[in-house]
């Protein structure tokens, strides 16, 4: 079904092309970077009949891809029944799973059921070599995760390894890529750790914006090495020199750059209790009432919620003029509209500017280098004029103001060093057993979701 079939009166530019559906918040792990603080099921999660109805509604609205997530989706006994209902209606369906299954649920059984249900692929996280992975996800998870990938591979199910970039694993991304290749993954998908959910209490593990100067060129190098398809999520960008190459998107055969957050435009998120949001990565950080909840599927049909006048206003009504900070002055603002709204919300509690932008940090770095060059030129001139500068001119010659003729480039950014002490510090603590809201799988507002997820048809 195409977007033109959307209910009459709705804006035909917008339809829920990609849905991330948290089918339960229950999870056996308590990962340090879990955006949802998953653990226990939400109160009153949708039952099987309600889920099957939601699957039908998504298909009727033209949804092309549904990502089943959690929590851990396999904690529900009916996860494959829900998947099958979507697949039967022609919806590409995949699943994000932690690969660490409870006793009595062998990984091979999960893999076989996923294949039988018709899932197009599964996403499983590897957050680095064993010590780093387990510092983030808990003890004895690395070996079991690799065994799960092996089980999916053995039944012929395509696996996408997912890595959440943080301060621990930034220095070892090349090794992490090799682990994904050795495990037989078809794609390696990277996203930034957001300071939200459980990670809100581990903000020291979130990389600093300036580290994008290291990350993005590194990702280009890793991508060009081949061996695995590298995909970056919405949180990594924007509009820097690497964007087209890393994002790997085309429209009409032409490469395109990041096209702005699609929450509520072409992306929808559904919570296990029927709550509907533009995207599950948008966190409620301003109190108990989640400002991003647009309605509940127990009270209204998805089409009503989606097409309600004023729905998803934070994004549908976002104008270039409404952007603030560096985004307000940015030459890419029209296309970019402030980068990832989830990151903006998590970092700055606003939706109108995003400090995690290559463009912003690179410009700041260039200005810093310019200032340093001006300072160095002034100091050299003072030395030439008599040492300490006390006898020099009060006002330096205008040529000191700016080294106009010299190319100004950012310095080589020193890659962060692997810090075994930091890893050990996190390895000795067990992740907290917290339970509340949200989960975020980075959905992609893709013109062609099949290419984005490397789905073979």
* Residues near ligand SF4 (CB under 6 A): 234, 238-239, 261-263, 267, 279, 281-282, 326-327, 330, 332-333, 336, 338-342, 354, 357, 359-360, 442-443
Nearer to ligand SF4, 61 or 333 (CB): 333
SS3 labels along 328-386: HCCCCHHHHCCCCHHHHHHHHCCCCCCCCCHHHHHHHHHHHHHHHHHHHHHHHHHHHCC
**Smallest gap, in angstroms, from Cβ of residue 360 to ligand SF4?**
5
Q: How far apart are CA 338 and CA 348, in angstroms?
A: 12
**Smallest gap, in angstroms, from Cβ of residue 281 to ligand SF4?**
4
Q: How far apart are CA 231 and CA 229, in angstroms?
A: 6
Cβ 40 vs Cβ 24: under 8 Å: no
**Smallest gap, in angstroms, from Cβ of residue 183 to ligand SF4?**
25
Nearer to ligand SF4, 321 or 421 (CB): 321
**Of 86, 5, 2, 1, which is closest to residue 307 (Cα–Cα)?**
5
Peptide bond into 457 cis (omega under 30): no
Phi/psi at 96 (5° precision): -100, 120
Nearer to ligand SF4, 46 or 340 (CB): 340
Return the residue matching tokens 């089409």. 303
**Smallest gap, in angstroms, from Cβ of residue 410 to ligand SF4?**
16
Nearer to ligand SF4, 73 or 355 (CB): 355
Nearer to ligand SF4, 138 or 195 (CB): 195
Nearer to ligand SF4, 357 or 382 (CB): 357
Q: How far apart are CA 25 and CA 37, in angstroms?
A: 9
Return the residue matching tokens 């998953």. 38
Q: How many CB atoms lie within 10 A of CB 435?
A: 16
Nearer to ligand SF4, 141 or 211 (CB): 211
HSE-up (13 A, CA, CB side) for residue 455: 22
**Smallest gap, in angstroms, from Cβ of residue 258 to ligand SF4?**
7
**Smallest gap, in angstroms, from Cβ of residue 241 to ligand SF4?**
12
Nearer to ligand SF4, 157 or 162 (CB): 162
For residue 109, how far is the Cα from the chain centroid? 29
Cβ 279 vs Cβ 260: under 8 Å: no
Nearer to ligand SF4, 95 or 427 (CB): 95
* Angle separating helix axes 142-154 and 107-117, nearest 10 degrees: 40
Environment class of 291 (CB within 10 Å of its CB; exposed 0-12, middle 13-18, buried 19+): middle
Nearer to ligand SF4, 303 or 362 (CB): 362
Nearer to ligand SF4, 32 or 239 (CB): 239
**Smallest gap, in angstroms, from Cβ of residue 18 to ligand SF4?**
9
**Smallest gap, in angstroms, from Cβ of residue 335 to ligand SF4?**
8
**Smallest gap, in angstroms, from Cβ of residue 92 to ligand SF4?**
18
Specify which residues 250 forms β-bridges with.
255
Q: What is the token pair recorded at 22?
A: 């948290």
Environment class of 175 (CB within 10 Å of its CB; exposed 0-12, middle 13-18, buried 19+): middle
Q: Where are the beta strands (DSSP E) in 117-186?
A: 121-125, 159-165
H/E segment holding residue 151: helix 142-154
**Smallest gap, in angstroms, from Cβ of residue 243 to ligand SF4?**
9
**Smallest gap, in angstroms, from Cβ of residue 131 to ligand SF4?**
29
Q: What is the token pair recorded at 304?
A: 């009503």
């Amino acid at each position: 079904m195409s977007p033109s079939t959307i209910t009459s009166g709705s804006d035909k530019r917008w339809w829920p092309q990609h849905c991330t559906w948290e089918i339960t918040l229950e999870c056996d792990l308590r990962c340090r970077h879990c955006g949802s603080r998953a653990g226990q099921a939400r109160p009153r999660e949708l039952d099987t009949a309600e889920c099957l109805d939601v699957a039908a509604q998504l298909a009727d609205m033209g949804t092309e891809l549904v990502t089943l997530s959690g929590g851990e989706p396999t904690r529900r006994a009916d996860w494959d029944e829900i998947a099958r209902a979507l697949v039967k209606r022609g919806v590409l369906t995949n699943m994000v799973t932690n690969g660490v299954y409870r006793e009595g649920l062998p990984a091979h059984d999960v893999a076989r059921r996923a294949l039988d249900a018709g899932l197009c692929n599964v996403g499983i996280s590897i957050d680095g070599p064993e010590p780093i992975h387990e510092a983030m996800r808990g003890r004895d998870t690395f070996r079991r995760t690799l065994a799960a990938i092996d089980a999916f591979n053995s039944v012929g199910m395509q696996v996408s390894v997912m890595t959440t970039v943080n301060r621990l694993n930034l220095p070892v991304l090349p090794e992490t890529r090799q682990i994904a290749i050795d495990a037989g993954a078809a794609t390696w998908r990277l996203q930034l750790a957001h300071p939200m959910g459980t990670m809100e209490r581990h903000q020291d593990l979130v990389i600093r914006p300036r580290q994008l100067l290291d990350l993005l060129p590194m990702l280009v190098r890793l991508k060009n090495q081949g061996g695995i398809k590298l995909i970056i999520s919405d949180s990594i960008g924007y509009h820097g020199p690497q964007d087209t190459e890393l994002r790997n998107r085309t429209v009409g055969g032409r490469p395109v750059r990041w096209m702005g957050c699609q929450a509520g435009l072409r992306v929808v998120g559904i919570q296990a209790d029927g709550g509907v949001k533009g995207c599950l990565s948008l966190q409620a950080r301003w109190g108990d009432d989640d400002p991003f909840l647009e309605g509940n599927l127990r009270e209204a049909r998805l089409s009503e919620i989606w097409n309600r006048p004023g729905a998803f206003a934070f994004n549908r009504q976002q104008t270039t003029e409404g952007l603030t900070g560096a985004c307000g002055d940015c030459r890419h603002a029209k296309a970019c509209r402030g980068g990832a709204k989830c990151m903006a919300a998590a970092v700055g509690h606003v939706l109108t500017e995003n400090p995690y932008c290559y463009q912003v940090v690179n410009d700041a770095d260039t200005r810093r280098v310019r200032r340093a060059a001006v300072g160095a030129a002034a100091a050299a001139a003072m030395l030439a004029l008599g040492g300490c500068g006390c006898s020099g001119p009060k006002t330096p010659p205008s040529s000191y103001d700016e080294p106009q003729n010299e190319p100004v480039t950012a310095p080589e950014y020193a890659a962060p060093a692997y810090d075994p002490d930091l890893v050990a510090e996190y390895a000795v603590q067990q992740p907290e057993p917290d339970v509340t809201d949200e989960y975020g799988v980075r959905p992609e507002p893709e013109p062609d979701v099949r290419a984005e997820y490397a789905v073979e048809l």
